[in-house]
Amino acid sequence: MTVTSAPLRSTPRLNERMPTGIEGFDALLAGGLPRNHTTLLVGGPGCGKTLFALQSLVMGAREHAEPGIFVAFEESAKNLMDNAATLGWDLGKLKKSLYFLDARLPHAHVRGGEFDLLGLLTAVGAKAKAMGATRVVFDGIDRLLSLLADPLAERREMGRLSDWLSDQGLTGIITCKTHDGSVGTLDRTAYLQSLADCVVTLQNKLVGSRPVRLLRITKCRGQAHVSGEVPFAITHTGVKVISFHPEKRERATSQRVSSGVPALDAMLSGGHYRGSSVLVSGSPGTAKSTVAGMFIEAAARRREPSMYVAFDEGAGQVVRNLAAVGVRLAPYVKSGVLQVVSERKLEKNPVEHVAQIIELIETHDVQCLVLDPISALAGSGVDAMAEELVVRLLDFASSRGVTVLCTCTRGSSLLGSGDGLMEESAAGVSSIADTWIHLTHVVQQGERRRALTIVKARGIGHSNQVRELLLSRRGVALGELTEPFEPVPEVAVSMRRGRR
């Protein structure tokens, strides 16, 4: 006797994926949303639900040749088109593959008994068939559901909607406002979540004193997924999820990149590894920015697309101040090989900074990058998040083979507890950086001098010397420190304070 097994249902398997095209998001779900199933996006007002859904539709039409229908219960189609235009999505070009249904309910209507959604589903179904649509967004379903004014009817109709999507072979994205807790309103998110195959929760949360956007995949049937909170930002090109890129990691290279300071290259027996991350720590005034400037100037001289991101200064100031110590960036800025970008601290939250930097790295195919100072991302109560973000950013850079030099003020939480010269302080950015150069002030014969030491350099036989850092109008050079020297007393005090 033979046993044959037949599929019980014609519904496609849950593990078939539909890429949203939202950067960093699809990787969280092993490729995208469950195809031919229902995904629910929930969140409070203004947390990015509509944009998220719209972007999935636009990217589907643009990048994957999958036409889509946007059913808008909350906003007018014109409003949505205008929003899309500000993000640089030319919907005019996608006229044949995107359809917006203005489904705002008329204000003047009378309830004359029970009703259902068959009209809407029939209309959308016919349109989907006519244009070969595979994706449908129902944006602001709470508006429609509140019209039903009956919890049982709501459940019945949502069940109908979800079954209908599967039957039609459509992938549905439904957005719904979370319950605000007000009396007399219905909390629909609970039953909607049990109905949907995949639930993504978006929120705008205060971290420290700054609002930060976070998303979480609360549920996804039949698919392993990243379940923790993941930060995202809305940049001028849309939603950007800051996630890890472990699968894209480039193979380690043994190619070297000059630090821009010949004597430092010698200490590193040839320079930094390409694609590695270099941390330059030190108190204010120890010439961290100059070391960073020399690195980027050398990169630009080699005609490698480079970027200098300044968090504390304007771009003009950076160029001027570095020119004063002989690091001339202006010609390279002019030729376009170097971007000097100012990411002022207060304008954005750290997620937005990182999203912006990632975008710039991609746009300009940056090969060498300076982040000065990376410690600016922390503070204001966002320390834990900043550290995670820096890890993600460095990970992203390394996946693209970008050599990164970041400076960090001593005492910053990003360095981990303890002081720059104490090797046991293996926490924060200092632990993930491949190379760690520490700059300090020392006293020698009653005079304050700058000193440089290499704390670590992974995979590089490096010098253990403490060298004097000489700052002149021709940039940074290294000299020999003759014994005896000792830390500057004030610095020693702040060193103790820095410890936890």
Partner 1 sequence: MKSTPKDTVDPPMLKLRLYVAGSSPNSAMAVANLKKLRQGPLGERLELQVVDVFKEPERALTEGVLVTPMLVKLDPLPECRILGNLSNTEAVLRALGFWEYSP
Nearer to partner 1 by C-beta: 115 or 492? 115
By CB under 8 A, the count of residues binding partner 1 is: 26
CA distances, 447 to each of 160, 275, 282, 477, 485 (Å): 81, 38, 18, 18, 10
Q: How far apart are alpha carbons 112 and 98 in whole angstroms?
A: 34
Which tokens hold the place of 465? 């010397």
Nearer to partner 1 by C-beta: 110 or 324? 110
Q: How far apart are alpha carbons 17 and 24 in whole angstroms?
A: 15
Under the criterion CB under 8 A, does residue 167 sit at the interface with partner 1?
Answer: no
Q: Which x/- pattern over 375-414 shows residues binding partner 1 (rule: CB under 8 A)?
A: ----------------------------------------
Query: Is residue 480 within a helix (H) or strand (E), and if so which, with residue range?
Result: strand 475-480
Under the criterion CB under 8 A, does residue 363 sit at the interface with partner 1?
Answer: no
The residue ranges of DSSP E strands in 258-413, in sequence order, are 272-273, 277-282, 306-310, 338-342, 368-372, 403-409
Q: CB 134 → partner 1: shortest distance, Å?
A: 18
Nearer to partner 1 by C-beta: 147 or 263? 147
Q: CB 168 → partner 1: shortest distance, Å?
A: 12
Nearer to partner 1 by C-beta: 111 or 236? 111
Nearer to partner 1 by C-beta: 92 or 113? 113
Under the criterion CB under 8 A, does residue 101 sit at the interface with partner 1?
Answer: yes
CA distances, 59 to each of 30, 68, 188, 337, 414 (Å): 17, 10, 29, 30, 36
Q: CB 100 → partner 1: shortest distance, Å?
A: 11
Beta bridge partners of 205: 212
Residue identified by tokens 């179904």 is: 125
Under the criterion CB under 8 A, does residue 136 sit at the interface with partner 1?
Answer: no
Q: How far apart are alpha carbons 291 and 121 in whole angstroms?
A: 63
Residue identified by tokens 């978006």 is: 202
Under the criterion CB under 8 A, does residue 496 sit at the interface with partner 1?
Answer: no
Considering only residues 102 to 121 of the shown chain, the ones binding partner 1 according to CB under 8 A are 102-103, 105-106, 108-120
Under the criterion CB under 8 A, does residue 82 sit at the interface with partner 1?
Answer: no
| DSSP state for residue 254 in the 8-state scheme | -
Q: CB 124 → partner 1: shortest distance, Å?
A: 8
Nearer to partner 1 by C-beta: 147 or 323? 147
Nearer to partner 1 by C-beta: 88 or 113? 113
Q: CB 228 → partner 1: shortest distance, Å?
A: 38
Q: Which of 60, 67, 68, 125 binds partner 1 (CB under 8 A)?
A: 125
Q: CB 116 → partner 1: shortest distance, Å?
A: 5
Residues, the chain, total? 500
Under the criterion CB under 8 A, does residue 122 sit at the interface with partner 1?
Answer: yes
Q: How far apart are alpha carbons 37 and 391 in whole angstroms?
A: 34
Which tokens hold the place of 142? 């709470």
Q: How far apart are alpha carbons 18 and 58 in whole angstroms?
A: 13
Q: How far apart are alpha carbons 421 and 441 in whole angstroms?
A: 12
Q: CB 150 → partner 1: shortest distance, Å?
A: 11
- Alpha helix (H) residue ranges in 169-314: 189-195, 262-267, 288-301
Under the criterion CB under 8 A, does residue 72 sit at the interface with partner 1?
Answer: no
Q: How far apart are alpha carbons 135 and 68 in whole angstroms?
A: 5
Query: Cis peptide leading into 45, omega within 30 of 0?
Result: no
CA distances, 211 to each of 103, 121, 179, 359 (Å): 32, 38, 20, 21
**Binding segment toward partner 1, per CB under 8 A, in 125-133, 234-242, 271-279, 454-462:** 125-133
Q: CB 80 → partner 1: shortest distance, Å?
A: 17
Torsion of CA 56, 59, 60, 65, to 10 degrees: 170
Q: CB 146 → partner 1: shortest distance, Å?
A: 13
**Binding segment toward partner 1, per CB under 8 A, in 97-105, 240-248, 362-370, 386-394:** 97-105
Q: Which x/- pattern over 433-462 shows residues binding partner 1 (rule: CB under 8 A)?
A: ------------------------------
Under the criterion CB under 8 A, does residue 249 sit at the interface with partner 1?
Answer: no
Under the criterion CB under 8 A, does residue 144 sit at the interface with partner 1?
Answer: yes
Query: Is residue 475 within a helix (H) or strand (E), and if so which, with residue range?
Result: strand 475-480
Under the criterion CB under 8 A, does residue 123 sit at the interface with partner 1?
Answer: yes
Under the criterion CB under 8 A, does residue 127 sit at the interface with partner 1?
Answer: yes
Under the criterion CB under 8 A, does residue 250 sit at the interface with partner 1?
Answer: no
**Binding segment toward partner 1, per CB under 8 A, in 122-130, 308-316, 332-340, 440-448:** 122-130
Using an 8 Å Cβ cutoff, are 412 and 452 in contact? no
Q: Which of 14, 81, 147, 186 binds partner 1 (CB under 8 A)?
A: 147
Query: Is residue 497 within a helix (H) or strand (E), and if so which, with residue range?
Result: helix 489-498
**Binding segment toward partner 1, per CB under 8 A, in 89-97, 124-132, 212-220, 373-381:** 124-132
End-to-end CA distance of the chain: 73
Which tokens hold the place of 409? 């003020």
Residues that bind partner 1 (CB under 8 A): 101-103, 105-106, 108-120, 122-127, 144, 147
